[in-house]
Amino acid sequence: MSLSVFVTRHLTPIAEEKLNSFCTPEYWPEDTPPPYEILLEKTRHADGLICLLTDAIDARLINQAENLKVISQVAVGVDNIDLQAAEARGIPVGHTPDLLTDATADLTFALILAAARRLGEAIDYARSGHWQTWGLTTLLGESVHGATLGIIGMGRIGQAVARRAQGFEMRILFTDLSAHPEREGEFGATQVTLETLLKESDIISLHVPLTPSTAGMIGADQLKSMKPHAVLVNAARGPVIDTDALVLALETGQIGYAALDVTDPEPLPPTHPLYKLPNALILPHIGSATRSTRDQMSLLAVDNLIAGLQGKPLPRAVARSTGR
Ligand code: NAP
């Protein structure tokens, strides 16, 4: 009996080669996600699904997919998948942690540097002909070297950011769900409450998964408690920050700068007020977007899928209790 596999976007060529040698999958041919109704139709009789974070894999979809044996997501975050519904049906969910940690931490550091040193504005300033002379007070930013970095979510990516911050001799504060004295030891960092972190950090970087406890965790009150020159970086998930409150905080100078790889909503419409603010830098969710990382992520997603179809343990399965 032949296996039916639906893949919601083309994978990288090396991963498609591997998958195509195992089965004859159907790839969604567009660059944009399949509409939800099509996703329902394509998964109704599918044995396996490879999906991206832009696909809503909700309880309705999972429950109507009568033959589904495995869901394999090409990402570490799985907030688009109803893990409880998958578990209730005994369908394992795979994801791609670790492989993307360094690429995402590199990008986070690029955001930290670009925001603190106002690179976006400086590039526009030079390009637009405003550069007349060397100015003693032109485009002054904030020091990164020696600054206090607050990491919210000191997991795989948070720790990789801390490793980079050590090279900049930064003081590192972090907050997590549980107590982690071992992380303090490894990075010379201090675990503090969220309130202390927000108050004392010059640069705040978000690395929590999107869950009911992290959605909106940075709202008006949290923004108010930050330093007026604070740089806020988000390479986690957009809804962790209340976007309207952030726009207000940036407009009124409550905080200094926001650098966002992820936004709420995504994509951020071109008319959105965030684009008009000189102290906001927006990237189109490219945290893990390096050639080698996307190859590795796609290959692991294929391995997870194949294992699931063969009834074997997935190389990287998500545990519903932890989302990891
Ligand atoms: P991870 O290893 O699971 O780390 C998550 C960290 O968040 C853990 O330290 C956890 O603390 C902490 N945490 C969870 N809930 C919290 C809460 N309510 N308050 C404070 N801390 C909390 O995950 P990861 O691999 O580093 O990835 C993190 C997230 O980054 C992913 O879920 C994904 O959404 C996002 N991401 C984005 C991109 C991008 O392209 N921008 C790329 C990759 C990943 P405990 O250890 O105490 O549980």
Q: Is 238 in the pocket of ligand 1 (CB under 6 A)?
A: no
Q: Is 48 in the pocket of ligand 1 (CB under 6 A)?
A: no
pLDDT bracket for residue 152 (50, 70, 90)? very high
Q: Is 7 helix (H, G, I), strand (E, B) or coil?
A: strand
What are the pLDDT digits (tens) for 184-214?
A: 999 999 999 999 999 999 999 999 999 999 9
Sorted by sequence, the CB contacts under 8 Å of residue 237 that are 6+ apart come out as 77, 79, 209, 210, 214, 262, 264
The verdict on 24 and 172 lying in the same domain is no
E strand or H helix at 292, and its extent? helix 291-309
Q: How far is the CA of 314 from the centre of ligand 1 (A)?
A: 21
Q: In degrees to the nearest 10, what's the CA dihedral of 219, 224, 228, 230?
A: -30
The verdict on 106 and 123 lying in the same domain is yes
Q: Is 47 helix (H, G, I), strand (E, B) or coil?
A: coil
Residues β-bridged to residue 307: none
Residue 10: inside a domain: yes
Closest CA to 268 of 248, 239, 245, 294: 239
Q: Is 143 in the pocket of ligand 1 (CB under 6 A)?
A: no
**294 to each of 6, 11, 104, how far by Cα in Å?**
19, 9, 12
Residue 12: inside a domain: yes
The verdict on 143 and 121 lying in the same domain is yes
pLDDT of 159 over the 90 cut: yes
The verdict on 184 and 76 lying in the same domain is no
Please give the structure tokens belonging to residue 37.
Answer: 């109704």
What are the pLDDT digits (tens) for 228-284?
A: 999 999 999 999 999 999 999 999 999 999 999 999 999 999 999 999 999 999 999
The verdict on 209 and 298 lying in the same domain is no
Contact criterion met (CB below 8 Å) for 207 and 151: yes
Domain extent for 11: 5-99+291-309
Q: Is 138 in the pocket of ligand 1 (CB under 6 A)?
A: no
Residue 258: inside a domain: yes
- Number of domains forming the structure of the chain: 2
Residue 16: inside a domain: yes
pLDDT of 180 over the 90 cut: yes
At CA 108, angle to CA 150 and CA 317, rounded to 5?
A: 95
Residue 85: inside a domain: yes
CA–CA dist 303, 309 (Å, integer): 10
Q: Please return the burial class of 31, using the count of CB atoms within 10 Å of its CB with bins 0-12, 13-18 and 19+.
A: exposed
Residue 318: inside a domain: no
The verdict on 105 and 235 lying in the same domain is yes
The verdict on 211 and 125 lying in the same domain is yes
- Whose tokens are 């995504």? That residue is 266
Residue 41: inside a domain: yes
* CA atoms within a 13 Å half-sphere pointing along the CA-CB vector of 208: 25
The verdict on 197 and 269 lying in the same domain is yes
* 3-state SS record for 252-286: CCCCCEEEECCCCCCCCCCCCHHHHCCCEEECCCC
Catalytic, out of 9, 117, 285, 316: 285
pLDDT of 303 over the 70 cut: yes
The verdict on 212 and 106 lying in the same domain is yes
Indicate which residue's Cα is closest to atom 37 of ligand 1.
236
pLDDT of 321 over the 90 cut: no
Please indicate whether residue 229 is annotated as part of the active site.
no
The verdict on 158 and 248 lying in the same domain is yes
Residue 51: inside a domain: yes
Q: How far is the CA of 20 from the centre of ligand 1 (A)?
A: 33
Please indicate whether residue 285 is annotated as part of the active site.
yes
Q: How far is the CA of 235 from the centre of ligand 1 (A)?
A: 10
The conformation of residue 31, written as its DSSP 8-state character, comes to S
pLDDT bracket for residue 1 (50, 70, 90)? low
The verdict on 120 and 259 lying in the same domain is yes
| Ligand 1 nearest atom to the CA of residue 104, by list position | 42
Q: How far is the CA of 155 from the centre of ligand 1 (A)?
A: 6
Give the predicted TM-score (pTM) of the model.
0.97
| Ligand 1 nearest atom to the CA of residue 180, by list position | 47
Q: How many residues does the chain have?
A: 324
pLDDT bracket for residue 93 (50, 70, 90)? very high
Q: What is the residue-averaged pLDDT of the chain?
A: 97
Please give the structure tokens belonging to residue 32.
Answer: 């944009």
Q: Is 150 in the pocket of ligand 1 (CB under 6 A)?
A: no
The verdict on 233 and 298 lying in the same domain is no
Task: Count CB neighbours of 37 within 10 A.
Answer: 8
Q: What is the CATH classification number for the domain harbouring 209? A: 3.40.50.720
E strand or H helix at 234, and its extent? strand 231-234
Q: Is 261 in the pocket of ligand 1 (CB under 6 A)?
A: yes
pLDDT of 220 over the 70 cut: yes
